[in-house]
Amino acid sequence: MLSVKNLSKSFGDKKVLDQISFEVNKGDIAIITGPSGVGKTTLIRCLSGLETYDSGTIDMTERRSEKEHPVGLVFQNFNLFPHLSALENITFPLVKVKGLDKEKARQEGMDILTSLGLDGLENSYPFQLSGGQQQRVAIGRALAMDPEYLCFDEPTSALDSKLRDSVGEILQEIAARGTGVIVITHDREFAEKFSTRLYALGTDLELVK
């Protein structure tokens, strides 16, 4: 379980998060909705270690290893390396961070691409891929680090209804592996459809379902 208790974060005089508490189990799809400016992105940046917080705690039970990266993040704009192919975007952290040899990393990367329906696109560069395909590569790169929890920043932004549902199905597949999924979005319809836990973030965090 990932347990967040009384998390607070300010930027200067502006308090962005104020005593936020919630829990996510492995296999959950916890979706946090709310309007722009209420701190959704700041929250998942704190969870993934990209942002420090002022007070409160973020605890994870049943960690596999303190050396692992327990919380991954798929950025809204994907942040793929433009000079690397789809496969290289996935194998780069496997080699540089996890220390795999190149052949082992290549095999793992190909397996991930296949699982995400990207067969035959391993040598394509980001500019040659559609937005949906780029997103899947970004998801694959995050999954390559074998996180226990995976955060998504507005994953359905600017997608049509068909692609929105395909993203939801990917989230369900990830959760079915036993990974906890945490999503922030303003898309309440998507949240209602695919969440197992639904939260609304405003002045505080309310559990909706």
Return the DSSP state at 209: -
| Whether residue 22 has pLDDT greater than 60 | yes
Q: Average pLDDT, stretch 77-85?
A: 93
User: Per-residue pLDDT for 67 more than 70?
Assistant: no
Q: What is the number of alpha carbons within 13 Å of residue 17 lying toward its C-beta?
A: 27
Longest CA span, the chain: 51
Q: Write out 136-199 in H/E/C secondary structure.
A: HHHHHHHHHCCCCEEEEECCCCCCCHHHHHHHHHHHHHHHHCCCEEEEEECCHHHHHHHCCEEE
| Digit-coded pLDDT (tens) for 90-139 | 999 999 988 899 999 999 999 999 999 999 999 999 999 998 899 999 99
Q: Is the predicted pLDDT of residue 30 greater than 80, yes or no?
A: yes
Structure confidence at residue 156 as a pLDDT band (50, 70, 90): confident
Convert the pLDDT of each residue in 97-109 to its tens digit: 888 999 999 999 9
Task: Assign domain 2-70+147-207 to a CATH class.
Answer: alpha beta
Give the model confidence (pLDDT) of 163-172 as tens digits: 888 899 999 9
Whole-number pLDDT of residue 161? 74
Q: Which residue has the higher pLDDT, 143 or 61?
A: 143
Residue-range domain boundaries for the chain: 2-70+147-207, 79-134
Q: Say yes or no to pLDDT of 205 above 90.
A: no
